[in-house]
Amino acid sequence: MTEPPPWVIPDGWVLEGLATCRSCDAPIAWCTTPRGKRAPIDRDGVSHFATCPQAEAWRRRKRR
């Protein structure tokens, strides 16, 4: 059995915990960005918002 690759956390980001995406069931890591925002990332350090097939359903509407 092959071990999954290690998590890549972008520089300056703080790992908060590991979870599973509620839409696509992919493993994600919740992190805090240097600006204090929370963001989910994939194992390779890419934003899960960019890779999740259901990301549009989770986007907030911009207020005018």
Predicted TM-score of the model (pTM): 0.81
Q: What is the DSSP letter of 24?
A: T
Domain ranges across the chain: 14-58
* 15 φ, ψ (degrees, to nearest 5): -70, 130
What stretches of the chain show up as alpha helix (H) in DSSP?
48-51, 55-58
CA distance 15 to 54: 23
pLDDT (tens place) for every residue of the chain, 64 residues total: 788 889 999 999 999 999 999 999 999 999 999 999 999 999 999 999 999 998 888 777 666 6
